[in-house]
Structure 1
Amino acid sequence: MLSHRALLSSAVVIAVIALGTTGWILGSRLTQEKTPAGTGIVSVPADMRGPFDLIDHTGRRTTEADFRGEKVLLYFGYTFCPDICPTSLQDMSAAFEALGPDGDKLRPVFITVDPDRDTQAHLADYVELFHERMVGLTGPKERTDAVARDFRVYHSIRTDIDPVDYPVDHSSYTYLMDEDWNLMLVFRHGTSPEVMAAAIKERL
Structure 2
Amino acid sequence: MQRAIRITVLLLILGLGSLWGAAWFGRQPGEPLGGAFMRNIAWLTGQQVPQPGIPGTVLPEGMTLGGPFALVDQQGRNVTQANYASTLMVAYFGFTYCPDICPTELGNIAAAMDLLNEQEAARVTPALFSVDPERDTPDQLRAYVTNFHPRMVGLTGTPEQVAETARRFRVYYAKVQRPEMSEYLVDHTSYIYLIGRGGAVRTLLRPQSAPEAIAAAIRAQLSQS
* TM-score using structure 2 length: 0.71
* Inter-partner Cα distance in structure 1 for 2:179 and 2:85: 40
2:159 aligned residue (141, 144, 162): 141
2:38 aligned residue (28, 31, 37): 31
* Inter-partner Cα distance in structure 2 for 1:173 and 1:44: 14
Aligned residue number for residue 18 of structure 1: none
* Inter-partner Cα distance in structure 2 for 1:79 and 1:44: 29
Identity %: 39
1:200 aligned residue (208, 214, 218): 218
Aligned residue number for residue 113 of structure 2: 96
**CA shift at 1:43, angstroms?**
2.5
SS at match of 1:184: strand
* Inter-partner Cα distance in structure 2 for 1:49 and 1:148: 9
CA shift in 2, pair 1:200/1:63, >3 Å: same
Cα deviation, 1:101-123, whole Å, max 9, x if unaligned, reads 21111011111000101111100
CA shift in 2, pair 1:67/1:49, >3 Å: same
SS at match of 1:202: helix
1:83 aligned onto 2:83: no
Aligned residue number for residue 150 of structure 2: 132
SS at match of 1:31: helix
CA RMSD, Structure 1 to Structure 2 (Å): 2.0
**8 Å CA contact 1:69, 1:180 repeated in 2:** no
**CA shift at 1:179, angstroms?**
3.7
- After TM superposition, the runs of 4+ consecutive aligned structure 1 residues lying more than 4 A away are 160-164
CA shift in 2, pair 1:117/1:161, >3 Å: farther
**CA shift at 1:188, angstroms?**
0.7
**8 Å CA contact 1:176, 1:185 repeated in 2:** yes
**8 Å CA contact 1:90, 1:130 repeated in 2:** yes
1:122 aligned residue (129, 140, 155): 140
Counterparts of 1:12-51 in structure 2, within 5 Å, are 31=38, 33-35=50-52, 41-44=56-59, 46-51=63-68
Aligned residue number for residue 207 of structure 2: 189
* Inter-partner Cα distance in structure 1 for 2:67 and 2:96: 21
**CA shift at 1:65, angstroms?**
1.1
Specify which structure has the higher proportion of helix: 2
SS at match of 1:125: helix
**CA shift at 1:135, angstroms?**
1.0
SS at match of 2:116: helix
**8 Å CA contact 1:50, 1:148 repeated in 2:** no
* Inter-partner Cα distance in structure 1 for 2:94 and 2:179: 18
- How many residues are aligned here? 173
Greater alpha carbon shift after TM alignment, 162-171 vs 59-68 = 162-171
* Inter-partner Cα distance in structure 1 for 2:197 and 2:82: 10
* Inter-partner Cα distance in structure 2 for 1:97 and 1:85: 18
* Inter-partner Cα distance in structure 1 for 2:202 and 2:150: 24
User: What are structure 1's unaligned runs of at least 5 residues?
Assistant: 1-26
**8 Å CA contact 2:141, 2:154 repeated in 1:** yes
Aligned residue number for residue 4 of structure 2: none
Higher-RCO chain (CA-CA 8 Å, sequence separation at least 6): 1
SS at match of 1:175: strand
Greater alpha carbon shift after TM alignment, 154-163 vs 100-109 = 154-163
